[in-house]
């Protein structure tokens, strides 16, 4: 994919659609059809609010499905995410991304191919991380070959030093892992996040990622993946090439709450001051 032409800007803001628990998840309603209707309705409503607020793209993820499968999710999860993504695609023409938690890039690519999405987010694309699901390993070789087999122009946005995880070795920290993710893993964009959902990225760590990109002579976009607010977005976009935003766009700043279009508009206005 071509980054700037896809989003219509060199510094896109991507808003999150955090799906509620899908059928089969521990916290889903006992009635599976009710759970699916709730997920579809929320996804469509959040997509409308994000579009109305002025974001440049949307990312859908099965946030409510904790505890997550480490790698492959079962078919009913793929089906549910596909249905929700179809509902989002019907509500907006914004570029669309898919993230199947915790790390099922094959499922995400398959959903993206089915609904015409533009990119996927892969939490561990190269290397390995210690997570609450155990050791999660990257499978870049499988992901990129599947993309070729499916014949789709779907970007791979890969986390480096992904949140809710730790490196297996001291060498596995953000800056050095960028080169493996972008240069050897062939990611189309790299995402740098804070320690957890809604937590700010360390500015020095973000700058180190960008410096590592320059040192390797790469032009892979770097996005901030957590903790972006109207107060910080201008400074962050002075370093990074875009941001994925969830918590700050929700009612009362609560991650699981519906998207608040007014909050979206405030963030977009703050970003527009510098882009």
The ranges assigned to domains in the chain are: 3-273
Token output for 226: 């957590």
pLDDT tens track for 56-73:
999 999 999 999 999 999
Per-residue confidence (pLDDT) for residue 55, from 0 to 100: 98
* Crossing angle for the helix pair 105-115 and 140-150, to the nearest 10 degrees: 20
- What whole-number distance in Å separates Cα of residue 55 and Cα of residue 51? 6
pLDDT 10s digit of each residue in the chain, 275 long? 999 999 999 999 999 999 999 999 999 999 999 999 999 999 999 999 999 999 999 999 999 999 999 999 999 999 999 999 999 999 999 999 999 999 999 999 999 999 999 999 999 999 888 888 889 999 999 999 999 999 999 999 999 877 677 777 665 455 567 878 998 999 999 999 876 677 788 888 899 899 999 988 999 999 999 889 999 999 999 999 999 999 999 999 999 999 999 999 999 999 999 99
> What is the layout of strands, in order, in the sheet containing 134-137?
134-137, 128-131, 165-167
Per-residue confidence (pLDDT) for residue 123, from 0 to 100: 94
Q: Which residue is it, tokens 């899908």?
A: 22
User: 111: Cβ–Cβ under 8 A, 6 or more apart, which residues?
Assistant: 78, 81, 82, 85, 98, 100, 117
Phi-psi region of 67 (alpha: psi -120 to 50; beta: other; left: phi over 0): beta
Per-residue confidence (pLDDT) for residue 158, from 0 to 100: 95
Nearest partner of 135 among 73, 195, 71, judged by Cα: 71
> Is residue 41 a contact partner of residue 22, using CB atoms and an 8 Å limit?
no
pTM confidence score: 0.94
pLDDT tens track for 169-224:
665 455 567 878 998 999 999 999 876 677 788 888 899 899 999 988 999 999 99
Q: Could you count the other beta carbons within 10 Å of the beta carbon of residue 40?
A: 18
Write down the architecture of domain 3-273 according to CATH: Alpha-Beta Barrel (3.20)
User: 71: Cβ–Cβ under 8 A, 6 or more apart, which residues?
Assistant: 102, 103, 104, 136, 137
Per-residue confidence (pLDDT) for residue 204, from 0 to 100: 87
């Amino acid at each position: 994919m071509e980054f700037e032409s896809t989003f219509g800007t060199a510094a896109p803001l991507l808003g999150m659609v955090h799906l509620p628990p899908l059928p089969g998840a521990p916290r889903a309603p006992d009635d599976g059809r009710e759970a699916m209707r709730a997920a579809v309705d929320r996804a469509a409503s959040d997509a409308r609010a994000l579009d109305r607020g002025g974001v440049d793209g949307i990312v859908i993820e099965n946030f409510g499905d904790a505890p997550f499968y480490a790698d492959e999710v079962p078919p009913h999860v793929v089906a549910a995410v596909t249905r929700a993504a179809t509902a989002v695609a019907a509500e907006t023409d914004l570029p669309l991304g898919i993230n199947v938690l915790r790390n099922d890039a094959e499922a995400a690519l398959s959903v993206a191919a089915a609904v015409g999405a533009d990119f996927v987010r892969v939490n561990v694309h190269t290397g390995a991380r210690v997570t609450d699901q155990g050791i999660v390993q990257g499978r870049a070789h499988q992901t990129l070959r599947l993309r070729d087999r499916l014949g789709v122009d779907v970007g791979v946005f890969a986390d480096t030093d992904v949140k809710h995880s730790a490196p297996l070795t001291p060498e596995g920290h953000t800056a050095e892992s960028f080169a493996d993710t972008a240069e050897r893993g062939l990611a189309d964009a790299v995402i740098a996040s804070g320690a957890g959902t809604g937590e700010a990225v360390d500015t020095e760590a973000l700058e180190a990622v960008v410096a590592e990109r320059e040192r390797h002579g790469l032009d892979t976009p770097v996005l901030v993946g957590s903790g972006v607010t109207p107060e910080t977005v201008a400074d962050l976009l002075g370093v990074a090439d875009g941001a994925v935003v969830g918590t700050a766009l929700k009612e009362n700043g609560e991650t699981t709450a519906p998207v608040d279009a007014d909050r979206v508009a405030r963030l977009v206005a703050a970003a527009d001051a510098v882009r």
